[in-house]
Amino acid sequence: MKPIYQWIPLLLPALFASGLSAQGQGKAPNKEIQNLKKAMEQLREETDQALEEMENRLLKEGQEIGKLRPGATRFLFSGYSSFRFTDEEGSPSTFDATFNPIVLFKFKDNLFFEGEVEFELADASTPGEPEFETEAGLEYAHMVWAPRDEVMFGVGKFLLPFGQFTERVHPAWINKLPDKPLIFSHSGFIPEADVGIDVRGALPVMQRASVNYALYLTNGPQLDTTTGEIATGSPSDNNHNKTLGGRIGFLPIPSLEVGFSFMTGKAGFTTSSGTTSLDTLLLGVDVAFTRSFDQIKGTIDARAEWAMSDIDSNSAVIGGADNSRDGWYAQVSYRADKMESLLKNLEWVLRYDTLSNPASLNSDRSRLTLGVNYWIGNSTVVKMAYQFDDRDNSAAETDAFLFQVGMGF
């Protein structure tokens, strides 16, 4: 059966003819005129309703088709890669390379997943055999639900928001120098990632100021009794305690951020007599400033971070000696990105960092690093640096020349 509005073209001539007939006969009865008006009004209402239903149906179908359109921002393959050359006095010079693919998948506007895997070259585990391996490590696998703009809930393995470097600066094409500051390096004491739950967000507090926050609960650290160092990221907990941590950052202006971080829990280790847990506390302060200046035709990026860790002493850990550490770094860079010549691609970097370990280990260390970068593109950089390295446990010179190419994609 045809919809009523499709009969309109057939009814109009009849109505028009009826009008002519009425004029020819004189006055049509008022009742017939009223009936015709009612019929026209009913047709108009039914037509409007049918058109509205059709418009809504087409809009809904268009939205469903849009969800299936290829190239929508639902899946993104990203990441970065690096190549590095290190020539340290007293050691063989070495080439190295890494590849870090990153996957981002958005299920809907407030639900997404982020994950990163690191592939790096490594020597074979069997001494004396000239074999080499490629190691793969899960950097993070993080599922996030954001019910509101001000808050996000996450689960999985994630980069710990302790300070700024690990979460925001560590990728090879973002880090201004070829290596990490000591407190965040393999010889440092700040954990990189762990498994658990987290909540994060940001809030405006004044016209230009804002606050960001992060709070997490994780499996927590496990303790190496030989070195007294802690490690995180294990899928299993070796004690009945969880680690609580977080960071709060304050931006009085968009170009300046000051943050405070903490982490507290119990670090566990296992011996023949069972599992022992020691109270562990980490604290940190960070500050970062980035701004472009017309007067110097370039951008200044300055940042500094300080951190400390305190783990209860135990006779099974580094001979019962005090197991406290602290360190800091300060870094400043200048890029002449407002100049018209090739100088706009150059960036100059200066960093000083230090690490103080337990006195029984005799491994305190401080470095001064001078670097220059050349930006080939927005996310591709060639870095060269010379490092003056002062180590308590080495009488020999350990200065180094570093070269790295970092590319983000």
Q: What does the pLDDT look like over 397-407, one tens digit per residue?
A: 789 999 999 99
346-397 pLDDT, tens digit per residue, is: 999 999 999 999 988 889 999 999 999 999 999 999 999 999 999 987 766 7
Q: In the prediction, which pLDDT does 245 show?
A: 98
Residue intervals of the chain classified under CATH 2.40.160.10 are 73-408
Q: In the prediction, which pLDDT does 15 show?
A: 46
Residue 137: partners with Cβ closer than 8 Å, 6 or more residues away: 117, 118, 120
Q: In the prediction, which pLDDT does 20 show?
A: 45
177-217 pLDDT, tens digit per residue, is: 999 999 999 989 999 999 999 999 999 998 889 999 999 99
What φ, ψ does residue 57 adopt, rounded to 5°? -65, -40
Count how many Cα atoms sit within 13 Å of the Cα of residue 254 in the half-sphere of its side chain: 4
Measure the CA–CA gap between 198 and 160, rounded to whole angstroms.
Answer: 9
Q: In the prediction, which pLDDT does 155 show?
A: 98
In this prediction, residue 47 has a pLDDT band, given cuts at 50, 70 and 90, of confident
Q: In the prediction, which pLDDT does 271 show?
A: 82
Say what the pTM is. Answer: 0.79
CATH topology of domain 73-408: Porin (2.40.160)
Q: In the prediction, which pLDDT does 48 show?
A: 80
Between helices 8-25 and 30-68, what is the axis angle to 10°? 160
Q: Which residue has the higher pLDDT, 7 or 64?
A: 64
286-314 burial, b at 16+ Cβ within 10 Å, e below that, comes to bbbeeeeeeeeebbebbbbbbbbbebebb
Measure the CA–CA gap between 373 and 176, rounded to whole angstroms.
Answer: 8
Q: In the prediction, which pLDDT does 69 show?
A: 56
Mean of the pLDDT values across residues 241-248? 97
367: tokens are 């470095």
152-187 pLDDT, tens digit per residue, is: 999 999 999 999 999 999 999 999 999 999 999 998
Measure the CA–CA gap between 190 and 314, rounded to whole angstroms.
Answer: 21
CA Rg value for the chain? 33
165, with CB counted inside 10 A (0-12, 13-18, 19+), is buried
Contact 176, 373 (CB under 8 A): yes
- Average pLDDT of the chain is 88
Mean of the pLDDT values across residues 313-337? 94
Q: In the prediction, which pLDDT does 95 show?
A: 96
Contact 154, 143 (CB under 8 A): yes
Report whether pLDDT(233) > 60. Answer: yes
Q: For strand 75-88 and strand 400-408, is the pairing parallel, antiparallel, or unpaired?
A: antiparallel
